[in-house]
Structure 1
Amino acid sequence: MDLHADALVIDGLIIAKWARPVFEDMRRGGLSAANCTVSVWEGFQDTMNNIAEMKRLIREHDELLTLALSVADIRRAKAEGRTGIILGFQNAHAFEDRLEYVETFADMGVRVAQLCYNTQNLIGTGCYERDGGLSGFGREVIAEMNRVGIMVDLSHVGGLTSREAILASTKPVCYSHCLPSGLKPHPRNKSDEELRFIADHGGFIGVTMFPPFLRRGTAATVDDYVEAMDYVIALVGEDCVGYGTDFTQGYDQRFFDWITHDKGRYRRLTDFGPILNPEGIRTIGETPNLTAAMQRAGWPERKIRKVLGENWLRVFGEVWGA
C-alpha cells in the first residue's frame, strides 16, 4: 500500500460516467492521471459539448481533478493529490472530413485519439470489419496528430490499418487498452505478432481488464489481470507496457447498447453479455489491489513503478513534447 501511494499511477483508458462519485473513486484509487474518453460516436459539435462539460466538471471539482495537458501537469497532479484528466477520443469520427479539426481539438486539450472504433470510418477500418487499411486522408490525419501532439491509439483498430498507422507515424503510437489473443482469441485482442510489431516500432501497449476479453471472462480476478500483463511483458519487455482498465463505472445496459452499435440504423456489432470486472478491482477505488497483485506475482518494485505509470509518462512526453 505504501508503494502504491508513492508511485505514479496512470490509467491508460477510462470511459466511466463522468460525475463526482467517479472522481472521488479516482482519488480513492490513487490515480495520478487517466486517459478519459470524451468522444466515441459523436461528431464535431457533440464532442465539443462533451469537452466543455468535462472542463466544467474539472473546475467544479478542482480539489480532486486538474486538466492534464503535459507530463508536467501529471507530475503536479501527483504532488497535489489530484487526478490529471487527459482528454481522449475512442474514435476519430469527430474530426469528420476536416483536417484542421485535429489542431482545433488539440487546442481544446485533447491528447489521445483512437483512429477507429470497431468499424470503418474515413481514416481506416476497425477490428470488427474486413480491413481495407489506412486511407489517404488517414495518413494526413496521422501526420497532423504527430505535428500537434495527439497520441495515435489503435486499440479497436483492425490489424492492417494498425500496421500501416504504426509505419506512418513519426511518433510512438499505442494500444491504450488491449489484451493478448494468445490468452483468449477475440477480434478485439492482439496477436503476439501485432504486440511485437508495435513494440519493435517504438509503440506502447496498455493492457486492459475488460472481462469479455480476459482468459477467464467474468470469473477473472485481479491476479488474472496481472497474468495478462506478464504475458505481454514476456513478449515485448517491461519498458513499453502500462495498464488501461477500460472502466465503464456508473453506466447501465443502455450505455453498452449504444457503444456497440454501428452503421445501418444502429446495427449491433457484438453482444458482450454480463459485464463484471475482475474480483479485486471491480471499481476504480480498488486500484491499490492491482499493486498488491503485482507484488504477489513477485514483481520487483522497479517493474511495478514502470507499469503503473512511469512508462506511460515517458511515452506521453515523447508524443506531447515539453
Structure 2
Amino acid sequence: MNTDQALALHESSIIFDGLVIAKWNRDLFEDMAKGGLTAANCTVSVWEGFKDTIDNITEFNQFFCDNSDLIMPVHTTADIAKAKEQGKTGIILGFQNANAFEDKIGYVEIFKKLGVGIVQMAYNTQNLVGTGCYERDGGLSGFGLEIVAEMNRVGIMCDLSHVGPKTSEEVILASTKPVCYSHCLPFGLKEHPRNKKDEELRFIAEHGGFIGVTMFAPFLKNGIDSTVDDYVEAIDYVVNIAGEDCVGIGTDFTQGHDQAFFDMLTHDKGYARNLTNFGTIINPEGIRTLGEFPNLTATMLKHGWSESKIKKIMGENWVRVLKDVWGE
C-alpha cells in the first residue's frame, strides 16, 4: 500500500462520522481537523429533557462562535459540501434519546429549526416513544408512531442504535423516510445486547435504511485488544450482509470523557438502576483518537478495498441518505 495514495484518497473524500459523543472543546475540534473529518453527528442530548437539551444546544451555539475557524453548523447536505470546501468540520446536532421531545410533538419541529438532524428513538430503556435494547421490548407506542411521522415530515432521521428489536422493526415499517442504526456492530462477530443480528441488519437494508458501524471496543470481537483492522473487518461483515451502498462510519468516539461520564451513560436516566458495565474503555489501536482517522482509510486500502468503495463508506453513502431524509 502506498502511504501517499492513502493520504490523497482520505483528503479528497467526504469523511463523515455518524456518531461522536466526545468532550466538546477546542482541543477536540482541532483533532477533528487533524483527522480530516468533513462532518459528524454530534450528540447534545442523552437523558436530558427539553430545557437541559436547549441549554446544551445553547452551549454548542457558543462553540460555533468561538471556533468558527474549525467548525460550522450543518442544516443541509449542501452545508456538508461547504464544510469540505472550507476545510472545516460540519456539525449535525443529534440526540441519542427522544426524551427531549417530552410529550410535545411540536418540539420536534422546534429542534429541527435549531439544527437537530438525527434523533435516536430510545436510549437503552423505555421512554414515551418505545423501548431501548436493555429491557423487554414492548414496541413503538401510539405517541411514538406520531413522533416518527412528525420526524419524517420535518426531516429528522430516526436512529435505532440503542433501540430494542421490536421497536426498531416497527419504526422501520412505519417510517416513510430512511432510518438508521447510526452506530452499531454485528451480533455475528460478538454476542452483545447492543449488537445487531444478521437478520436485523438485513431487514433495515431491505427497507431502504442505513447502517453506521461503530468501533466501540467493548462491542468488538477482540474487545479492548481490538485494532483498526478489527474495525475494518466488522465494517466488511456488515457490507457483506447489507451491501456497500447503505453502510457508513459511526465511530461512537467518546474522546476526552472521564469515568463519571460513562457511569451516567450506563445508568437508567443517568442516575438510577445500573444497566450495564463497559469495563475498560479504549479505542482500537490505530484509531484511538479522531486525529487518527486517516489510518482508517489506509487500512481499508490495505485490505484490498477499491477507492470507490472507500469513498462510499467513508462518507458518500451518509450524505446521500441524509439528503433523502432532509430533502436538501
Question: Normalising by structure 1, what TM-score?
Answer: 0.99
1:208 aligns with 2:193: no
Question: Structure 2: which 5+ runs fail to align?
Answer: 1-6
Q: Which residue of 1 aligns with 2:284?
A: 278
- Give deviations 1:206-240, integer Å, cap 9, x for gaps: 00000010000000000000000000000011000
User: Is 1:302 equivalent to 2:305 in the alignment?
Assistant: no
Q: Distance in 1 between matches of 2:12 and 2:152?
A: 32
- CA drift at 1:267: 1.0
In 1: Cα distance, 2:139 partner to 2:297 partner: 38
- SS of structure 2 residue aligned to 1:8: coil
1:3 aligns with 2:9: yes
Paired residues in the alignment total 322
Matched-pair identity in %: 67
Distance (whole Å) between structure 1 residues aligned to residue 267 and residue 252 of structure 2? 18
2:64 match: secondary structure: helix
Partner SS for 2:129: coil
2:189 paired residue number = 183
CA distance in 2, matches of 1:194, 1:36: 25
Match for residue 139 of structure 1? Answer: 145
Distance 2:198 2:74 in 1: 32
Please state if 1:173 is matched with 2:179: yes
Q: Where do 5+ consecutive residues of structure 1 fail to align?
A: none
Match of 1:152 in 2: 158
Alpha-carbon distance change, 234 to 273 in structure 1, aligned in 2, over 3 angstroms: same
Aligned to 2:3: none
Spell out structure 1 runs of 4+ moving beyond 4 A.
none
Residue in 2 that maps onto 1:25: 31
1:242 corresponds to which of 238, 248, 251: 248
1:63 and 2:63 aligned: no
Equivalence for 2:238:
232
- Distance change >3 Å, CA 151–CA 230, structure 1 → 2: same
Deviation at 1:59, TM superposition (A): 1.3
Residue 264 of structure 1, CA deviation? 9.9
- Matched with 2:81 is 75
Residue 125 of structure 1, aligned match among 111, 118, 131: 131
1:267 aligned counterpart, secondary structure: coil
Q: Which residue of 2 aligns with 1:100?
A: 106
Deviation at 1:263, TM superposition (A): 5.2
Distance 1:27 1:70 in 2: 20
Confirm or deny: 8 A CA contact 2:121 2:159 kept in the other structure: yes
SS at match of 1:251: coil
Which whole-Å CA distance do the structure 2 matches of 1:130 and 1:269 have between them?
13
1:216-227 equivalences in 2 (<5 Å): 216-227=222-233
AA of the residue aligned to 1:137: F
8 A contact 2:263–2:270 mirrored in 1? no
